[in-house]
Amino acid sequence: MAKTSVVSAEVSIIQKLKQLYELQLIDSEVDSIQIVKGELPMVVSDLEDEIGGLGTRVVKLEGNIAEMDKDHNSHKINIKQSEDNIKKYEKQLDTVKNNREFEALNKEINMQKLEIQLSEKKMKEVAEQIKNKKLTLDTLKEKLSQKQKDVEEKRAELSKIIEKTEKDEKALTNKSEKARKNIEVRLLHAYDNIRKRYRNGLAVVMVKRSACGGCYNQIPPQMQLEIALRKKIIACEHCGRVLVDDLIQQAEE
């Protein structure tokens, strides 16, 4: 929007200024409801994302532990098989016919004992890893449980606020949509663009104590006079907001 611009006389400048200012008042009420909600919707969304991430980590960790349990059991089975083989070979020692058979059986027995030692070592390592994984899993589950409690509390809090404000917000939104229909597209586009620029959503502001009601910069006396005359749509030269005088609502069209 230009800093100063003359608008078509089909609808009076006063009427256009009043329409813009009245729309701003309605939208500011909607904004105030959003402020009451605060950052709760974002907080709930962030918590839900965090819970999803924690849930994925829990499932993955549980899968890892299950695989490690299988590995642990396979070593246990290997030990049992090796022990059975040793018993078999030791029994065969009673029937050996020569030194070669005796040495061969002893070699097999020693090999099986080494297998047992290796499997026991691996079992011990896997058991330690499982222990650590389970500790991590317990921590994750505790964190997940707490986050689930937190999100339920925030959802309940947000639900109460929505329940309390939903009727007013819906009525104001309908009122805003109705008011927008009376404003020409060019002005409405400029109004929306200005609102998007500022966190407080103010696009139309009054001049207060010789200053812009949006950015609080001083307005030159000549510009204040032009604003009061309501013959032009004038924007603040500092922030671009549309400026109106404090009697705009009582002004005759």
> The domain spanning residue 204 has which CATH number?
1.10.287.1490
Among 103, 131, 164, identify where a domain stops.
164
Same domain, 129 and 228: no
Same domain, 158 and 195: no
Phi-psi domain of 162 (left: phi exceeds 0; alpha: psi -120 through 50; beta: other):
alpha
Same domain, 49 and 154: yes
3-state class (DSSP) for residue 205: strand
Q: Specify the pLDDT at position 251.
A: 67
Q: State mean pLDDT over 190-205.
A: 94
Q: Specify the pLDDT at position 97.
A: 85
> d(Cα 210, Cα 212) in Å, to the nearest integer?
7
Residue 241 belongs to some domain of the structure: yes
Confidence of residue 160 (pLDDT cuts 50, 70, 90): confident
Same domain, 69 and 158: yes
Range picked from 1-10, 29-38, 44-53 for highest mean pLDDT: 44-53
> d(Cα 139, Cα 198) in Å, to the nearest integer?
43
**pLDDT beyond 70 at 10:** no
Same domain, 48 and 91: yes
Q: State mean pLDDT over 198-221.
A: 94
Residue 203 belongs to some domain of the structure: yes
pTM for the predicted model, two decimal places:
0.56
3-state class (DSSP) for residue 182: coil
Same domain, 138 and 198: no
Same domain, 119 and 189: no
Same domain, 9 and 55: no
Encoding tokens for residue 205? 């502001």
Residue 15 belongs to some domain of the structure: yes
Look at the chain and report how many structural domains it folds into: 2
Confidence of residue 40 (pLDDT cuts 50, 70, 90): confident
Which amino acid belongs to residue 184? E
Among 130, 164, 198, identify where a domain stops.
164
For residue 76, give its domain range. 40-164
Confidence of residue 249 (pLDDT cuts 50, 70, 90): confident
Q: Specify the pLDDT at position 253.
A: 64
Same domain, 33 and 52: no
> d(Cα 204, Cα 54) in Å, to the nearest integer?
46
Residue 176 belongs to some domain of the structure: no
Residue 169 belongs to some domain of the structure: no
Condensed to tens digits (0 to 9), the pLDDT of residues 59-85 reads 999 999 999 999 999 999 999 999 999
As beta bridge partners, residue 88 has: none
Same domain, 33 and 44: no
Same domain, 22 and 102: no
Residue 178 belongs to some domain of the structure: no
Residue 62 belongs to some domain of the structure: yes
Among 134, 164, 194, identify where a domain stops.
164
Same domain, 67 and 113: yes
Residue 220 belongs to some domain of the structure: yes
Buried/exposed 143-173: b ≥16 CB within 10 Å, e otherwise: ebeebeeebeebeeebeebeeebeeebeebe
Encoding tokens for residue 224? 């204040």
